[in-house]
Structure 1
Amino acid sequence: MNKTQYKDYAILYRGNHQSRVFEKFLMQNRIPYKISGGTSFFSRPEIKDLLAYLRVLTNPDDDSAFLRIVNTPKREIGPATLQKLGEWAMTRNKSLFTASFDMGLSQKLTGRGYDSLTRFTHWLGEIQRLAEREPVAAVRDLIHGIDYESWLYETSPSPKAAEMRMKNVNQLFSWMTEMLEGNELDEPMTLTQVVTRFTLRDMMERGESEEELDQVQLMTLHASKGLEFPYVYMVGNGRRIFAASKQH
């Protein structure tokens, strides 16, 4: 890039939906980026939900991911059940997910909470074992197994919103499939590698201060008003992408 920095480059588009293909490319190539005037694809709740499931599959010790998914969708696993599970796990120095398989847990948990918890974690364990052999099939079975689409329609403000959120989930699954299977240019990745790539993107969004950012800028034309960048790429003007080497 001839001694330029990532932050010298801006990609401008008319609608926020047009950022998605660039997010995919930049993420896959480990190029840091920032979205202004819109929500990053990876910041959407439905994407965070699915990635949390995948984080548990690839790292059973990830308690924060486990707590996000254990009742998403609702499974009648209440706070009292999770508190007792946490106490049991802590005394045995285990993660929540791993501790849920302990035979002795039935002495501390009983009734519907215990049944719901063990039914969920044993099912997730089956998905985990499938992921070792057939990761694409495992992710597909996971999405269908939790009936996430129905839950989106139950919890979204409108059917249209639920439809858009499910499209995002399907888009993520499509990207993951490409990365897991590979192509002429890229070697197939393991599920752990794919999840790590996505997780790093999420950590970058949450962990960096504005002053420290050196990232490609993605934004709508409207959001770019009054801003200047040495290199500007404009998208969605009825013509091919073109670069302007002068300031915008």
Structure 2
Amino acid sequence: IAVLYRSNAQSRVIEGALFNAGVPYRVYGGLRFFERAEIKHALAYLRLIENPNDDTSFLRVVNFPTRGIGARTMELLQDAARSSGRSLWQGVGAIAGKGGSNLGAFTALVDAMRDATRGLTLREIIEHVVQASGLADFYRNEKEGAERLENLDELVNAAEAFVTQEGFGKDAVALPVDEQAGRIAEGLPAAVALVDTQPDAETGEIMSPLAAFLTHAALEAGDNQAQAGQDAVQLMTVHAAKGLEFDQVFITGLEEGLFPHENAAADLDGLEEERRLMYVAITRARKRLYLSFSQTRMLHGQTRYNLKSRFFDELPETALKWLTPKLQGFGSGYARDYQAAWQRGSGLGSMVGAGRVAAAPAAFEAQARSTPNGLRSGQGVFHTKFGEGVIVTLEGSGADARAQVNFGRHGMKWLALSVAKLTPVD
């Protein structure tokens, strides 16, 4: 079995799902998400914010991006720290001259990032660190840096998904400085003091979303990739799949802007190259091919509602069998697609595979008229961040329900109702 993706950043979602499910997998021709250099650099800065005495993280980023700290300076620092039984961070003051000044500037930078990120959500902490550390500027000016920046954006998405799944709430923020100092004075670990979260219902334990996420990242980056010869799902980019064949192939992320990629969609030659890549991906399958697209995807900390790829329309309808239908509109014409597919006697959903799902048009129309979560258009609601607003549009049902709400000075917002928890006010 092979899972193909257009962008390396996509692999993070797939890897995370396989890791959590305990399914062996191997990344072919590339690195796992948390093994990539830019991700390791960002995580090292984050670990230093939480624990400045982490020598491994200190060594990784003390001179990345370059800040004039050479090998000789680091030898002196390591000797000073070793002789005094202290961490590298604690030994910085023992180094004189220009090297010592540059080391001091580095520790001051980390201290400034720690101060600046108090009171921020985990997503905002990572975004700030990527910018303030110089990582974003470094990769922005690097010839092949666009993909690395995309991976750093995906790290933000990974953090957002993690805190939501783990029950922290994505808006959990750091404590005020005085309250944080009080907790430290009480002997609580620094990680506990960093972010105010609800205590565990059973143990009463309080843990920082940052500390929890760093622990999760370390686990996922551990030695859990399938070994040679072990049955495992093969993960790879479409480019890496050239020349290979598999009995079953899953092609993921078939959305406008992703496959075909947004950088190529406006250019005829670029679009044609994307089409050739699609052909390569399809022909990797010997027996069974599954094509999928995501209706919603987290990007830059925001939920995006996607259009399915134009490549679906370029495939012969008779060759497709649609599975697991999504009946909600989501602005992409899914309702029209469903009704047209029903009239043709076909199901609707993910793609090519065993079985098919269908529902009577009457049931579909009843679902389309329903009001998710007991809300209705024109109703006043309250949101903890955006305040009072008025529902303009309701779409979908169950976990996929969403609403467009006019929050006045905050503007129009699309909200996932499973997360937003809107409170009716009339």
Q: TM-score, normalised by structure 1?
A: 0.71
RMSD: 3.3
Cα drift, residue 133 of structure 1: 4.7
Q: Is the alpha carbon distance of 1:178 and 1:98 closer, same or farther for their aligned partners in structure 2, counting shifts above 3 Å?
A: farther
Do residues 15 (structure 1) and 32 (structure 2) align? no
Of 96, 111, 114, the residue aligned with 1:110 is 96
Q: Is the alpha carbon distance of 1:114 and 1:165 closer, same or farther for their aligned partners in structure 2, counting shifts above 3 Å?
A: same
Partner residue in 2 for 1:162: 145
Q: Is the alpha carbon distance of 1:224 and 1:203 closer, same or farther for their aligned partners in structure 2, counting shifts above 3 Å?
A: farther
Partner residue in 1 for 2:234: 217
Deviations 1:69-103 (A, max 9, x none): 01110111111211111111101212212333x4x
Which is richer in helix?
Answer: 1
Of 43, 52, 56, the residue aligned with 1:64 is 56
Partner residue in 2 for 1:187: 167
The question of whether the paired residues in 1 share the 8 Å contact of 2:12 and 2:158 is answered with no
Deviations 1:119-159 (A, max 9, x none): 211221343355565353332221121222221244x3x2x
Of 199, 211, 220, the residue aligned with 1:201 is 220
Which is richer in strand?
Answer: 2
Q: What is the alpha-carbon distance in structure 1 between the residues aligned to residue 121 and residue 115 of structure 2?
A: 9
Cα drift, residue 12 of structure 1: 2.1
Identify unmatched segments of 5+ residues in structure 2.
169-207, 255-290, 292-311, 313-321, 323-348, 355-426
Partner residue in 2 for 1:5: none
Do residues 151 (structure 1) and 170 (structure 2) align? no
Q: What is the alpha-carbon distance in structure 1 between the residues aligned to residue 77 and residue 31 of structure 2?
A: 35
- Listed as ranges, the matches of 1:92-111 within 5 Å are 92-100=84-92, 102=93, 105=94, 109-111=95-97
Cα drift, residue 64 of structure 1: 2.2
Partner residue in 1 for 2:304: none
Q: What is the alpha-carbon distance in structure 2 between the residues aligned to residue 89 and residue 132 of structure 1?
A: 29
Which structure would you say has the larger RCO, counting Cα contacts within 8 Å and 6 or more residues apart?
1
Further displaced range: 134-143 or 22-31: 22-31
Partner residue in 1 for 2:125: 138
Partner residue in 1 for 2:39: 47
SS of corresponding position for 2:151? helix
SS of corresponding position for 2:223? helix
The structure number with the bigger radius of gyration is 2
Deviations 1:200-237 (A, max 9, x none): 2222268x7435x57543245737945567xx655453
The question of whether the paired residues in 2 share the 8 Å contact of 1:234 and 1:242 is answered with no
Q: TM-score, normalised by structure 2?
A: 0.44
Further displaced range: 187-196 or 137-146: 137-146
- Listed as ranges, the matches of 1:81-96 within 5 Å are 81-96=73-88
Q: Is the alpha carbon distance of 1:15 and 1:38 closer, same or farther for their aligned partners in structure 2, counting shifts above 3 Å?
A: farther
Letter in 2 for 1:15: R
Q: What is the alpha-carbon distance in structure 2 between the residues aligned to residue 62 and residue 29 of structure 1?
A: 31
Do residues 124 (structure 1) and 110 (structure 2) align? yes
SS of corresponding position for 1:203? coil
